[in-house]
Amino acid sequence: MGKTVAHISFYTPWERKRIARIVFALLLGALVWSFFSNTLLHQLQKPVIKFPYVDPTYWIMHYLGIPELITGNFVMACTFDTALFASCILSFMYPEKRLYCWSFIILYFIYFITFNTFGTHHTNHKIGFLFIAIPFTVADYKSFNFLWQGLRYFLLFAYADAFLWKLFRLSWLHPDQGLLIMKKNVAAFLYFEPNTLQAGLYRWSLQHPAWVNGAYLVGMLLEGLFIVGFFTRKFDHYLFILSILLPVGFYLMADANFFEFLILNLTLINFHKLFVRAQ
Amino acid sequence: MKGTFLYQVWQHNRKLCYILTAFTMLTVCGNLLGDEVTPFFVWGMYSEKEKPVQQYEILKTTINDSTVVNVYDYYTTDTRFYLYSPLAYYKKIEDNNNVDPTVSFLQSKLHQHYDKIDFLERSFSNTGPQQQAFLDWYARYLQQVTNIPVHSLRMEVIKAHYTDQNLVTDTVHLFATWEKP
């Protein structure tokens, strides 16, 4: 891993507390968003079809009957959701109390698995919500800083890995790869929303496939740029902007939601400067 | 070497270093094998070569013979996800002769060794009763999201193809119906 850590000035316990408040406020906002999305566990109406696929973690969860137990009983599901909100609020109010952070992580892990399995697709974008809380589970501020940096590497890895998969699978050489991805993912949108501006953009793209295929290649190269972050922190503010642009591209080109992963962008921010300016 | 992240973690706290190294190694292994085991993720999205498709399938649900469910009326992608993805998976099971595609996938990979994980089948696949209960659940969830009392459902498959300019519908056929008992 990069030599960049030598240049890190560690966040102080005071700064850690403020970062925790920002993180848990965002997490609380995400939970409220889930409420309005009708995807909290008590709102799932006792789902029946599951999708553990070939992920042993999901198999274990279903073997233990945890997703079924919680969603199968309305009172249990309400209790679970209340506990999830409470752990998040308490972590926001008392960031130094690690028990609340641990509680949130365990509960959010169960929520993550249950949401994905009954949604019948393993979405990864919510993993940022789970991982971002981990650094706050340690007592000493130095370990917190190392875990926070570890999360930064995790973010860099996710994008760099996406680049490497495309590179080695040679999908960038595949004719019309970008266009075919778009066609597959926006068919329902064009059917249900044919008169919108976005549908107009897709129809224009069908007539100009070079732009869509070019956008796929540009997106791939932008993902590759995250490798730079392993060696230097100098370009973190550019990577921050890129990691906002890429989910916008995924959304427009493939109707894919990757916005929740943005929470890991916090690891690219220099909070020293931010807090000094705020003071 | 001394400037590296893991070396500094090692200097600070060996237990933490072991944990981070193990996480890194397992993630790298998962990526090399192409197998995802939560939380060791594989970020291979859109790297698979897309095959040209003649016809695309779109699922359309109508409530009480009058209200078409347009998932794009809902502003959050999670709502859309829950309205569309389980229904699509239910259809996949139907299309696969009522066998969960995960079972078919594992049988094709493991051959005779599949028997060894047979005892776990209920943990990774949907069986008949779950399939039969699906439409009842879907009606309940639609009622939760739309706030419309659901008495009946019609689920159709629209097959469509692309021209150079637009999506064109070819056929529409009914694949499932549900009536409130």
ipTM: 0.94
Distances (CA, A) of B50 to A172, A210, A235, B102: 11, 16, 33, 21
Say whether pLDDT at A263 is over 60.
Answer: yes
On chain A, the residues whose CB falls within 8 A of the CB of B128 are none
Mean pLDDT of A175-198: 95
CA–CA gap between residue A225 and residue A219 (Å, rounded): 10
Check residue B90 and give its pLDDT. Answer: 96
* AA letter at B71: V
Give the pLDDT confidence of B62-77 residue by residue, as tens digits.
Answer: 999 999 999 999 988 9
Partner residue facing A54 (CB), from B51, B89, B102: B102
Q: Where do the H-state alpha helices sit in chain A?
A: 13-36, 56-63, 66-71, 74-93, 98-118, 127-131, 141-168, 177-192, 197-207, 209-224, 236-254, 271-278
DSSP β-bridge partners for residue B158? B58, B172
What residue ranges do the domains of chain A occupy? 6-137, 144-279
Distances (CA, A) of B49 to A183, B85, B178: 14, 22, 37
On chain A, the residues whose CB falls within 8 A of the CB of B133 are 48
CA–CA gap between residue B37 and residue A231 (Å, rounded): 28
Q: By the 8 A CB rule, do B61 and B153 touch?
A: yes
Check residue A4 and give its pLDDT. Answer: 46
CA–CA gap between residue A113 and residue A106 (Å, rounded): 11
Give the pLDDT confidence of A140-170 residue by residue, as tens digits.
Answer: 989 999 999 999 999 999 999 999 999 999 9
pLDDT < 50 regions, chain B: none
Say whether pLDDT at A275 is over 90.
Answer: no
**Interchain CB distance below 8 Å, B5 and A39:** no
Say whether pLDDT at A6 is over 90.
Answer: no
On chain B, the residues whose CB falls within 8 A of the CB of A51 are 89, 102
Q: By the 8 A CB rule, do A60 and A54 touch?
A: no
**Interchain CB distance below 8 Å, B5 and A149:** yes
Task: Tell which of B23, B41, B43 to mutate to test the A interface (max A CBs under 10 Å).
Answer: B43
* AA letter at B102: T
User: What burial class does residue A89 get, using C-beta atoms within 10 Å of its C-beta: 0-12 exposed, 13-18 middle, 19+ buried?
Assistant: middle
Distances (CA, A) of A186 to A29, A35, A67: 28, 26, 31
What residue ranges do the domains of chain B occupy? 1-48, 56-179
Give the pLDDT confidence of A64-100 residue by residue, as tens digits.
Answer: 999 999 999 999 999 999 999 999 999 999 999 999 9
Check residue B167 and give its pLDDT. Answer: 96
How many C-beta atoms surround the C-beta of residue B173 within 10 A? 8
CA–CA min distance A279, chain B (Å): 31
CA–CA gap between residue B12 and residue B129 (Å, rounded): 54
